[in-house]
Structure 1
């Protein structure tokens, strides 16, 4: 696998630092744009205290199947300039569009690009799914409802996995976050910590069902049975909403971090989960589906 530095120029001129991973042969190659979960994440899906390492794992697996991958640092993260705390949900979507365009413009990349998103990245993948030049969409832990409804579901699921004395604190924190949907400054303090109010406000008001209803290329949606941040039942809604071919899979034992965990579903197990690798079967399922779809289904691109 070859790794090449690639700069993505956003609509407002911000240069995002990325990595294009390609197979060892000269190509042109089919390609996938990788979009990570919410937070201050770099191109590998890592934050200071949360090392998911999703980017390298998927890039290596896809390269073995002859597929290139583009991933990038978010604004204000890693080698990308900007202010992460004041970057909106819509900014992240527009940056994803710019990354898609940069990938499609390369002569070493074949027409018909796949978009793979995890968590917040899945929401942006839904938006990109109806754009010209997109041939396949993979949604890892994506929801089919408004952001506010998803956050309320998440609050209850997270609370159930905590000791009883902590549950009211989670519900109180979520109520405070939901109040941010009222107009106000881009950055506010909640419980003494700065919060990206602009991102929160835009995400709460976003309804993914509108985007899903416009996707006519093949979709693979995967959510873990033990996900406490996204309702696995939304897989059924995704299948029903997408007018194109849609395959959905609920994976037993899989969590939001894309690891298998034998214990009770809880965010308290996240540190332990992150000491293990991304689930091999998930990587196999995802990359084999993309290889089949981008090889045989490119003519159905939107």
Structure 2
């Protein structure tokens, strides 16, 4: 959805520091005179920057979403995660070094969503009462946590609506076990053959690794020969989003692709049942976890090819139209 007065897009760099982090992001503004309705955009898991780009996979979804929303007259703030890009993780007053993101937990990330929301709400070019949260994958979990916390807060800004893109409605350990089961058939044939030869059940192995992670106590740990952000995994494995979804009495849009291997599209129905506020769900046809369409069978191996194409225009339009409906002109 594009409004004639909102075709020009401008961007402003923004920093919002805290005691244990110094976050950097980009405010994207529509053309014309503000104040504008506005949204914080939250990326998925891992070392992703404000555009949802990781070192080996340039997903670019939040940048494309920011520009689509700006063309629809909605301002946005997207930001680098702690220890990624220009954002810094601070420990004892000093900047954490390389791979600082690995020391950050799930609930630290949720704190940063709230900090970004507060920073956006303080700007004179955004419209109080028409502020939103939009999250993809882990970002959908984070905005659920943040929105539920803000709903219970005595003071401070609160979101008027939430968008969950590929948002799960089951505990983290169940999500990861399902992912293992869905991804196993898409592995290269030699890998599948080796697993069969070794009589290795991938889902069962993932469960064993979860037990090892739960037994750790440090921010970073080595499990199964791999160095992991153990704090994040411990918190994610034990987190059940259903309790926080049940606290959302504001409008919610939940969108998951029909070919999403990482989040069960059936969770859309669960979200609709759990959330007490007005809910709209959409099963995006042919769309994968990368928010792109995939004409063939979904496969993790196709991600690098998928991200060369733009985010599905229908998905961008659905989100922009729904948010515009939540922000009637004053």
Instruction: Name the TM-score, length of structure 1 as normaliser.
Output: 0.93
- Greater C-alpha radius of gyration: 2
Change in CA separation of 1:270 and 1:170 when aligned onto 2, cut-off 3 Å: farther
Q: Which moved more, 1:238-247 or 1:129-138?
A: 129-138
Which residue among 308, 317, 321 is the counterpart of 1:275?
A: 308
Question: Residue 77 of structure 1 aligns to a residue in which SS?
Answer: coil
Question: Residue 129 of structure 1 aligns to a residue in which SS?
Answer: helix
User: Is 1:89–2:106 an aligned residue pair?
Assistant: yes
| Distance in structure 2 (CA, Å) of the matches to 1:166 and 1:224 | 31
Contact 2:170 2:241 in 1 (8 A): yes
Post-superposition Cα deviations, 1:219-258, rounded to whole Å, max 9, x if no partner, equal 0101111111001100000000000100111112110000
Aligned to 2:248: 215
| Distance in structure 1 (CA, Å) of the matches to 2:164 and 2:158 | 18
Any gaps of 5 or more consecutive residues in structure 1? none
How far apart are 1:170 and its partner, in Å? Answer: 4.0
Aligned to 2:271: 238
Q: Which moved more, 1:232-241 or 1:58-67?
A: 58-67
Aligned to 2:137: 119
Contact 1:33 1:71 in 2 (8 A): yes
Question: Residue 212 of structure 2 aligns to a residue in which SS?
Answer: helix
Aligned to 2:327: 294
Contact 2:81 2:101 in 1 (8 A): yes
Aligned to 1:50: 57
Change in CA separation of 1:50 and 1:177 when aligned onto 2, cut-off 3 Å: farther
| Distance in structure 2 (CA, Å) of the matches to 1:185 and 1:99 | 27
| Distance in structure 2 (CA, Å) of the matches to 1:139 and 1:19 | 21
Number of aligned residues: 296
Aligned to 1:100: 117
How far apart are 1:185 and its partner, in Å? Answer: 1.3
How far apart are 1:4 and its partner, in Å? Answer: 0.6
User: Is 1:37–2:54 an aligned residue pair?
Assistant: no
| Distance in structure 2 (CA, Å) of the matches to 1:124 and 1:208 | 9
Aligned to 2:14: 6
How far apart are 1:182 and its partner, in Å? Answer: 2.5
Alignment RMSD: 1.7
Higher relative contact order (CA 8 A, sep 6+): 1
How far apart are 1:183 and its partner, in Å? Answer: 3.9
| Distance in structure 2 (CA, Å) of the matches to 1:213 and 1:153 | 23
Which residue among 144, 150, 158 is the counterpart of 2:175?
A: 150
Instruction: Name the TM-score, length of structure 2 as normaliser.
Output: 0.86
Question: Residue 263 of structure 1 aligns to a residue in which SS?
Answer: coil
